[in-house]
Chains A and B, each alone.
Chain A
Amino acid sequence: MVDRAIRSFAEIEIGDEIGPVTRVPTTEMVVRYAEAAGINELRFFFDPDQARQNGFEKPIVPGPLSAGFLAQLLTDHFTGWRLQTLNTTFRTPALHGEPLHLWGTVTEKSEQDGLPTVHCDLVAENERGDRVIVGTAVLSRHPAQR
């Protein structure tokens, strides 16, 4: 159950940890995501033969699905805030059914144009310790929540 209490600027500190949260992108989830995101034609995400032809041992998880887990990590943690930027680098593909451990760290807090803002580093790591995604994000307090 996600705690959706509004997080105030004052209670956020540099070095705060976000997560960790573990998500498992199953084949069923990849299929549903492909349909919802309109990428059904990219067969290597679920067809083993197509995956091999594209240089993968097995079908892989779409990077934006894993990046979406990181976005959710942030939006669940920072209730009352909105994402301004999300930058992600897909370093190695995630595999179906393989847990992804997600976490972040607050690296900076400031006021930009009078709007409370926080900067975060983000990581998604697989069970083998490989960093699947590294990223950064900036969030600002939603104007209606100030």
Chain B
Amino acid sequence: MIQVDPTLIGKEVPLGTFSVTAEDIRKFAEAIGDLNPLYLDVAAARAAGYANVIAPPLFCLRLRGGSMQPAVPLAPGLASLHAGQEMEFADEIYAGQTYTVSAKIAEAYEKTGRSGPLGIIVREAKIKDSSGKTVVRLRERQIVRSPEKRI
């Protein structure tokens, strides 16, 4: 069902370096309806012990890119679904900082679920700050299946 080049398993690839602005954070916070002052108001963030406004936790997915990376091309007729994620936050994402993101395919396998055969692709990403410290670790599971079973 899924065909992943075995040489890609475990191979970490750079996804890019990104500067985070207060405006990026504001847009994201407003889009999800989370108007926590820590995300919007630098004075509130500083009063809480932060150097600048910080990003909502799920902002890290913006940094890892729109879709799960590294990409795995799917055969025509297959559909995929984001099945879940594990996030570990060692520090906040701050406005005014630059972050470097890398990711790898940790594992890819097939199994039979209640609705038939499934492919599972597990990816891991790291977001590092400019000092090289890993601030977020992300592990995501993608399920690949035939789209015949409607949800």
Binding site for B on A (CB under 8 A): 2, 4, 23, 29, 32-33, 35-42, 53-57, 60, 62-65, 67-69, 71-72, 75-76, 80, 82-90, 92-93, 142-145
Contact call B31/A67, Cβ cutoff below 8 A: no
Contact call A84/B88, Cβ cutoff below 8 A: yes
What secondary structure prevails in chain A residues at the interface with B? mixed
> Does B5 make an interface contact (CB < 8 A)?
no
State the 5 A-B residue pairs at the shortest beta-carbon distance, nearest first. A144-B49, A55-B147, A36-B31, A89-B84, A32-B31
Contact call B151/A56, Cβ cutoff below 8 A: yes
Contact call A67/B58, Cβ cutoff below 8 A: yes
Mask: chain B, 29-64; 1 = CB below 8 Å from A; 0 = not: 011111011000000000011100000111001100
Contact call B61/A64, Cβ cutoff below 8 A: yes
Closest to A51 in B: B151
Contact call A29/B66, Cβ cutoff below 8 A: no
- Chain B hits for A41, CB < 8 A: 66-67
- Chain A hits for B148, CB < 8 A: 55
Contact call A89/B31, Cβ cutoff below 8 A: no
- The total of interchain contacts (Cβ-Cβ below 8 angstroms) comes to 123
> Does B13 make an interface contact (CB < 8 A)?
no
> Does B65 make an interface contact (CB < 8 A)?
yes
Contact call A54/B65, Cβ cutoff below 8 A: no
> Does B87 make an interface contact (CB < 8 A)?
yes
- Chain B hits for A69, CB < 8 A: 32
Contact call B57/A144, Cβ cutoff below 8 A: no
* 21 pairs, A vs B, C-beta closer than 8 Å: A23-B33, A29-B33, A32-B30, A37-B61, A40-B66, A41-B67, A54-B80, A62-B82, A64-B61, A67-B85, A68-B57, A71-B56, A75-B36, A75-B57, A82-B92, A83-B89, A88-B85, A89-B83, A90-B82, A92-B151, A142-B49
- A37–B82 alpha-carbon span in the complex (Å): 15
Report if A72-B34 is in contact (Cβ < 8 Å); known contacts: A36-B27, A37-B61, A37-B62.
yes
Closest to A41 in B: B66
Q: What class of interface size applies to chain B in its complex with A?
A: 35 or more
- Chain A hits for B57, CB < 8 A: 68, 71, 75, 83, 86
Contact call A68/B56, Cβ cutoff below 8 A: yes
- Chain A hits for B36, CB < 8 A: 2, 72, 75-76
> Whole-angstrom distance from the CB of A126 to the nearest CB of chain B?
12
Report if A72-B151 is in contact (Cβ < 8 Å); known contacts: A36-B62, A85-B87, A143-B49.
no
